[in-house]
């Protein structure tokens, strides 16, 4: 059936793109669980379990006093929240619809919309989870102080962006080596349990140990986060510039790889002999 092309203004094109991203984000949110409230509660429960596990580990090992001065639970949450945001963003981008997906058969749909929708869905869930957990802790403890809440939110978004950048690189490789990417993403997420530095204070690390962690953008984000959350902590062994530059470099690599993969996409990639 013939259809006459209709020229759209830049504003109408932007509105159509925003609407498409919105519907894609809602679809990603409903993908994990049919009930959005249950999906949010599951993510909140996962974060609470992480915080409780690290709290018990510090107490049992007797190293609770080794952390920086301030609210100890807030110290743990500052690391767990960034770790969860980074890891969830990476996983969402890697599992987004690829160029050979059936969703790409729809006219307005493309891989950029799929990636943005998956990333926004993970951010939405994480921000809601952080807000709910902080509210519960505030109601339980009476009060806590975040010295620079706006800067803390900005660093949380930076951890999300670095997760997207890592996910883009894995996404570009995924159609060529799906089994390798599945193993590599799992190893990366598990390695960040330690390499992210959420269990220790970076200022207390000797140079030999610091060299084992300062390659990781998430390590810098977590250390900088504690610098804006606690008034008496000034991070000396990390910077905000490194994760920003690493994020830009990884996004460029990932986009170039995704562009090449999209141009060579084949519907038979997912076929099994």
Cα 158 off chain centre by: 9
Environment class of residue 137 by beta-carbon count within 10 Å: exposed (0-12), middle (13-18) or buried (19+)? middle
272 band by pLDDT with thresholds 50, 70 and 90: very low
Segment among 16-25, 69-78, 168-177, 179-188 with least mean pLDDT: 16-25
Q: Is 41 helix (H, G, I), strand (E, B) or coil?
A: helix
Q: Is 163 helix (H, G, I), strand (E, B) or coil?
A: helix
Other C-beta atoms within 10 Å of 178: how many?
13
Environment class of residue 37 by beta-carbon count within 10 Å: exposed (0-12), middle (13-18) or buried (19+)? exposed
Residue 86 has pLDDT above 90, yes or no: yes
Q: Tell me how far CA of residue 198 lies from CA of 49, 67, 219, 224, in angstroms.
A: 15, 11, 8, 11
State the average pLDDT over residues 171-187. Answer: 88
Residue 71, pLDDT score: 77
Residue 242, pLDDT score: 92
Cα 124 off chain centre by: 11
Residue 257, pLDDT score: 87
Residue 34 has pLDDT above 60, yes or no: yes
| Of residues 118 and 270, more confidently modeled | 118
DSSP per position, 172-227: HHTTT-HHHHHHHHHHHHHHHHHHT-TTS-GGG--HHHHTTTTT-HHHHHHHHHHH
What does R_g of the chain's alpha carbons equal in angstroms? 21
């Amino acid at each position: 059936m013939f259809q006459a092309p209709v020229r759209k203004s830049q504003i109408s094109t932007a509105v159509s793109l925003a609407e498409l991203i919105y519907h894609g984000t809602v679809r990603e949110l409903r993908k994990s669980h049919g009930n959005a409230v249950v999906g949010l509660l599951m993510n909140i429960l996962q974060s609470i379990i992480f915080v409780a596990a690290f709290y018990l580990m510090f107490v049992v090992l007797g190293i609770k006093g080794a952390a920086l001065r301030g609210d100890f639970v807030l110290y743990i949450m500052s690391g767990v929240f960034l770790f969860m945001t980074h890891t969830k963003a990476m996983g969402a981008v890697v599992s987004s619809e690829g160029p050979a997906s059936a969703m790409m058969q729809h006219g307005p749909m493309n891989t950029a919309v799929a990636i943005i929708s998956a990333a926004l869905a993970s951010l939405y869930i994480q921000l809601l989870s952080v807000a709910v957990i902080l509210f519960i802790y505030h109601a339980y403890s009476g009060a806590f102080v975040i010295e620079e809440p706006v800067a803390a939110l900005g660093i949380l978004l930076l951890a999300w962006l670095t997760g997207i950048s890592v996910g883009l690189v894995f996404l570009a490789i995924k159609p060529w080596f799906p089994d390798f990417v599945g193993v590599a993403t799992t190893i990366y997420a598990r390695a960040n349990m330690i390499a992210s530095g959420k269990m220790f204070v970076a200022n207390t690390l000797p140079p030999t140990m610091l060299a084992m962690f300062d390659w990781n953008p998430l390590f810098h984000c977590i250390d900088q986060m504690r610098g804006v959350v606690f008034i008496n902590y000034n991070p000396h062994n990390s910077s905000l510039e490194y994760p920003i530059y690493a994020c830009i470099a990884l996004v460029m690599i990932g986009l170039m790889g995704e562009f090449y993969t999209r141009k060579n996409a084949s519907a038979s990639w997912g076929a099994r002999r």
